[in-house]
Amino acid sequence: MSVTTDVGAGVKRKESDGLGFYLKDAPWWILGLVTITAIMVFSIWYQQAFGHTYGLDSHSEVFQTYWMNFFYVETIVLVMFGAGFWTWLWMTREKTLDISPKEEFRRYISLVMFLCVYTWAVYWAGSYFAEQDAAWHQVVTRDTSFTPSHIILFYLTFPLYICLGVGSLIWAYTRLPMYRKFGVSLPHVLAVVGPFMIMPNVGLNEWGHAFWFMEELFSAPLHWGFVVLGWSALALGGVLMQIVLRVNELLPQIREEKA
């Protein structure tokens, strides 16, 4: 009986030491990447299908039907998603983080994957949709702040990555001993708060365009906030350095556990 138990434990130990243990959460993060891609591809199709046909006159009935209803739905869904996601992360936290070095190592891999999902959302917002927004308003004269371009860029892609970025902070502070011990990861906070502050900068942007006639160029002073705050996402490199330094401390401990 005892021999069988030891053999079974040995088999379980080998299974848990395999790559599958460290990538246990990978399906969730892959699902996140796929979901974001699907949302963005759908948004591109929707803009191309209904932007120039129903999005040029904000006072028309079809504009209200195709674009303002889209805005209302996305706002409600994102508010519910953000509130629910953050609440779930907080409610499922561990009050005492007494975990093994191997489990802590696994969680750092999960954090990297979480940040990849966040970065993927920021990439879509800051590349395709931001660039096409400038192109749209160089061609189409806006008669409202809620243009078909802005409804996707400002009120869909920005809130989406904000939900994910703040979620990554909550996840890290509630599940990683290093974050709880030292209190603040300055690069992580900067990488989340910087892009987060682009949303308030939207108000300044719309106020400026309401009073001044300006070309839609990123070099315009009114747009400097978007660029500088977007660059703050580069602080994610500092987060990766912190993770690497901590992992280097954990690896010898994991080897000792196996020995």
Contact 47, 152 (CB under 8 A): yes
Look at residue 5 and tell me if it is in a domain. no
Among 2-11, 117-126, 167-176, which is the least confidently predicted range? 2-11
Which CATH number does the domain housing residue 143 bear? 1.20.1050.50
Residue 99 phi, psi (nearest 5): -120, 160
Question: What type of residue is 253?
Answer: Q
Q: Return the residue matching tokens 């509630």.
A: 174
Domain that holds residue 96: 25-258
Q: Is 4 inside a domain boundary?
A: no
Q: What is the mean pLDDT of residues 223-234?
A: 82
Average pLDDT for 62-86: 96
Residue 30: the pLDDT is 93
Q: Of 146, 141, 140, whose CA–CA distance to 68 is shortest?
A: 146
Better pLDDT: 153 or 144: 153
The one-letter amino acid code at 145 reads: S
What is the count of structural domains for the chain? Answer: 1
Span 157-182, average pLDDT: 91
pLDDT band for position 13 (cuts 50, 70, 90): very low
Locate 215 and state its tokens: 């070309």
Which class for 181: exposed (0-12), middle (13-18), buried (19 or more C-beta within 10 A)? exposed
Collapsing DSSP to helix, strand or coil, 98 comes out as: coil
Amino acid 107: pLDDT: 92
* Tokens 């409600």 found at: 76
Q: Is 143 helix (H, G, I), strand (E, B) or coil?
A: coil
Mean pLDDT along residues 42-55: 93
pLDDT of 139 above 90: no
Average pLDDT value over all residues in the chain: 85
Question: Does 31 map to a domain?
Answer: yes
**Average pLDDT value for residue range 32-37:** 96
Q: Is there a domain that residue 10 lies in?
A: no
pLDDT higher at 200 or 120: 120
Specify if 250 maps to a domain. Answer: yes
Q: Is residue 6 part of a domain?
A: no
| Strand boundaries in the chain, DSSP class E | none
CA distances from 104 to 63, 177, 199 (A): 51, 8, 34
pLDDT bracket for residue 96 (50, 70, 90): confident
Q: The tokens of 246 are what?
A: 């901590």
Specify if 155 maps to a domain: yes
User: Does the predicted TM-score (pTM) go above 0.75?
Assistant: yes
139 belongs to a structural domain = yes
> What's the pLDDT at 217?
65
Looking at residue 7, what is its pLDDT?
A: 34
Model confidence at 228: pLDDT above 90: no
Q: Scan for tokens 């790559």, then name that residue.
A: 19
- pLDDT for res 206: 76
Helix, strand or coil, per DSSP, at residue 225: helix
Give which of 144, 149, 136, 137 is closest to 214, Cα–Cα. Answer: 137
CA 177, CA 157: separation in Å to the nearest integer?
Answer: 31
| Residue 185 DSSP class | -
For the segment 133-138, the average pLDDT, to the nearest whole number, is 81
Average pLDDT of the residues in 32-60: 94
Helix, strand, or coil (residue 222): helix
Integer Cα distance of 196 and 168 in angstroms: 13
Closest of 176, 223, 232 to residue 202, by C-alpha: 223
